[in-house]
């Protein structure tokens, strides 16, 4: 029970890595607030956790909207009285276009979810964590946050921003007991490509990214990322702050 007594908000909890985190965190004793825009998948993960004996509250919301972010955090504090862990996991993909061909609309959409969402939620969470003596923020980044070949320009820029958010938050609030770390996830078996309109994928860009993808050592499971998130959320990692940890089977070692 590595998270016994802790309250954890997990975004993008309806599928993939977020769903794995919700199930694992609840099994390890956390009271989970699962945030997800898709009501159907949100209902599924809530049912899964409850069936396994875990404690969970679902919140339907879009992290790109400040009002929804407020409601997510207020659900945690209103239902469970505090907030110990924030996992900024929700994210969407771009269409693999390079900087010469990116779409204004797509950039606004990707940044709203991948950057503004974590920034909004962290801004709300940090004061609560400081007031109670500390807490842990775990951001789901990507190898695209530390490399240039894994995705298009928009997604790559957004994940580099998440890395910057992580390091700045860690440095600014370390004396107040707030830790912030990021997982630079590699290839993971999730449904993130469902966020992309196949008809709008840039063929040239996808081919270029495919060269980098061609050297990937192995695909990870969502549970592999959840295991690392559990460690970073728990007190076992109390001396780890501002770290960007690759979970990519050695992809970025190339």
Residues marked as catalytic: 155
What phi, psi does 93 have (nearest 5°)?
-100, 165
Q: Radius of gyration (Cα) for the chain, nearest Å?
A: 17
Q: How far apart are CA 192 and CA 141, in angstroms?
A: 13
- The residue with tokens 């490399």 is 147
| Rounded CA separation 221/64 (Å) | 26
| Residue closest to 240 by CA, chosen among 156, 183, 165, 162 | 183
Paired strand residues for 139 = 88, 182
Length of the chain: 254
């Amino acid at each position: 029970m590595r998270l016994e007594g802790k309250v954890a908000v997990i975004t993008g909890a309806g599928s993939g890595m977020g769903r794995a985190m919700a199930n694992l965190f609840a099994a390890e004793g956390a009271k989970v607030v699962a945030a997800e825009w898709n009501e159907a998948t949100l209902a599924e993960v809530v049912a899964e956790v409850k069936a396994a004996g875990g404690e969970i509250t679902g919140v339907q919301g879009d992290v790109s909207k400040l009002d929804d972010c407020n409601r997510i955090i207020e659900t945690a504090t209103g239902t469970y009285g505090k907030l110990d862990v924030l996992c900024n996991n929700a994210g969407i993909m771009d269409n693999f276009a390079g900087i010469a061909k990116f779409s204004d609309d797509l950039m606004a959409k990707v940044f709203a979810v991948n950057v503004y969402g974590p920034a909004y939620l962290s801004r709300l969470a940090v004061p609560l964590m400081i007031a109670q003596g500390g807490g842990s923020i775990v951001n789901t980044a990507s190898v695209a946050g530390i490399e240039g070949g894994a995705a298009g320009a928009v997604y790559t820029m957004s994940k580099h921003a998440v890395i910057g958010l992580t390091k700045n938050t860690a440095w600014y609030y370390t004396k107040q007991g707030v830790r912030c770390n990021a997982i630079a996830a590699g290839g993971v078996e999730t449904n993130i490509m469902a966020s992309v309109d196949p008809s709008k994928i840039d063929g040239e860009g996808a081919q270029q990214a495919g060269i980098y993808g061609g050297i990937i050592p192995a695909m990870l499971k969502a549970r592999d990322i959840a295991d690392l998130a559990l460690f970073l959320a728990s007190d076992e990692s109390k001396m780890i702050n501002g770290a960007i940890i690759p979970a990519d089977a050695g992809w970025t070692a190339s």
